[in-house]
Amino acid sequence: MVEVVVIGAGPYGLSTAAHLRGLQIPFRIFGKPMTLWRDNMPKGMLLKSDGFASNLAAPDNEFPLSRFYEDTGRRDYSDIGLRIPVQTLVEYGLEFQRRHVGAVDPSQVVRLSRTADGFEVVLDTGEQVLARKVVVAVGPLAFRHVPEALAGLPSRLLSHSSDNHDLSRLKGHVAVVGGGQSALETAALLHERGVGVTLLARRKLLWFDPANEDRPQTERSLLARVRRPNFGLGPGWRTWFWSEAPHAFRHLPATTRMDKAFSTFGPAGSGWLKHRVDGVLPVQIGRLMAAREQNGQAVLSVMGVDGPASLAADHVIAATGYKADLRRLGFLSELLDDIDRIGHAPVLDSGFESSVAGLHFIGYASAPSFGPSMRFIYGTRFAATRVMRRVSRPSFRRDLARGTLQQQTA
Ligand SMILES: Cc1cc2nc3c(=O)[nH]c(=O)nc-3n(C[C@H](O)[C@H](O)[C@H](O)COP(=O)(O)OP(=O)(O)OC[C@H]3O[C@@H](n4cnc5c(N)ncnc54)[C@H](O)[C@@H]3O)c2cc1C
């Protein structure tokens, strides 16, 4: 039996594994390292998070992104205003894994069930692993959301934004549905490739901090910086709570948490993207009502500000985000009824532990408990530290030292 199994090898899983290794708690970690960033983000994408908010969490903050830039001879690092190419984040994540995690098993977990003293984790290879505790860090991908209104389209005419790592396969005219960063950046990248693109957004496009976003912190006066300091999820005192107080977020009323967990910081685009979209490519404002196939094309029916309209396209990309819903995680089916939920996300205590003792959730699914920072890399330190505090409680450590818990065998 291993002490801890971590399901997921993205920023959250890797950060937790680094902390487990730091405390010499035997663990195994499953999943494809950095796969969301490597296989599901469009090539050429830039991160919206700042440099200082894109650190994976090793114990003692040993390997921040700045260190990776330094070690690889990249001279352009800055905490604020740095635009990080997605490929650089992938390389950083893999190097973080090499230095602070070690071996990751790329197998998929297909079933999770309880045993007398922990869990049985079944892999797609058929292997069965016993673990005392499990940390689920599977990210947002399983929670992809496509609006019901697009249900009438065949799959060759419709994809989710996360299916479009390689935009070069798209030709003709593409409709991108959504008004968040993913929609805006995908539309900009398509346009820059010479593909005809129309953005369909429910309301006028919103931009985060278009004036200040690109200016390095040092160029701003002290007064400006005090008035509008930078926090992990963005500048301005109003973001402080959502960004820096995940421990307090848990104590807000449940309805407020459900609302703020996913509505804060979206849908809107980064200020630095504005000049690549605004006035550059066509934007249609309206509510998507229905979609159908006609003569091999997708035809979208839209209720616009001036009444009904339609939009024809050779392909539709639903850049319509994610909805945390544990029912979408097939491997959880045997435990689902025992997990207390808020909406369809797990209710978590201060150690990210669910109502199933020993079963933890971090990352996207934990946002209704700890707030919007759990949707971003910035939340990895808080999550990894809290989970670690729980699994390294004196009683757990005592058992470990006494050998009541068997050491990792794999
Ligand atoms: C388009 C887009 C842009 C974004 N930009 C930013 C940004 O600029 N800055 C930022 O901070 N955040 C950004 N995010 C949010 C991003 O999702 C998180 O920051 C981060 O990737 C979450 O990390 P994670 O480890 O929770 O999940 P992920 O990175 O999604 O990793 C999930 C891991 O789980 C594994 N897994 C899944 N199911 C199983 C299974 N059954 N068995 C085994 N393993 C499994 C996968 O293989 C993978 O290793 C963006 C998200 C999107 C979609």
Query: Domains of the chain by range and CATH?
Result: 2-143+322-402 (3.50.50.60), 148-206+267-318 (3.50.50.60)
Select from 89, 184, 189, 376 the residue to mutate for testing ligand 1; criterion: most ligand atoms less than 8 Å from CB: 376
Specify the higher pLDDT residue, 119 or 400.
119
Mean residue pLDDT of the chain comes to 92
Distance CA 331, CA 258 (A): 24
Report residue 256: phi and psi, to 5°. -65, -40
Q: Is the pLDDT of residue 214 over 80?
A: no
CB 331 within 8 A of CB 111: yes
Centroid of ligand 1 to alpha carbon of 67 (angstroms): 22
Average pLDDT on 15-30 reads 97
Ligand 1: lining residues by beta carbon, under 6 Å = 7-13, 30-32, 35-36, 41, 47-49, 54, 108-109, 137-141, 182, 331, 363-364, 375-378
Centroid of ligand 1 to alpha carbon of 14 (angstroms): 11
Select from 352, 377, 381 the residue to mutate for testing ligand 1; criterion: most ligand atoms less than 8 Å from CB: 377
pLDDT, tens only, 364-378: 999 999 999 999 999
- Number of the ligand 1 atom closest to the C-alpha atom of 139: 27
pLDDT, tens only, 186-211: 999 999 999 999 999 999 999 887 65
Distance CA 88, CA 85 (A): 5
* pLDDT band, very low/low/confident/very high, at 233 (cuts 50, 70, 90): confident
Select from 83, 87, 101, 138 the residue to mutate for testing ligand 1; criterion: most ligand atoms less than 8 Å from CB: 138
pLDDT value at position 267? 83
Centroid of ligand 1 to alpha carbon of 230 (angstroms): 24
Buried (b) or exposed (e) across 206-240, using 16+ Cβ within 10 A? ebbbbebbeeebeebeeeeeeeeebbbbbbbeebe
DSSP letters spanning 3-40:
EEEEE--SHHHHHHHHHHHHTT--EEEES-TTHIIIII
Report how far apart, in Å, the C-alpha atoms of 202 and of each of 179, 186, 269, 321 are.
Answer: 7, 17, 14, 14
pTM of the model: 0.93
The percentage of the chain sitting over the pLDDT mark of 70, rounded to a whole number, equals: 93
pLDDT value at position 239? 87
| Eight-state DSSP code of residue 322 | B
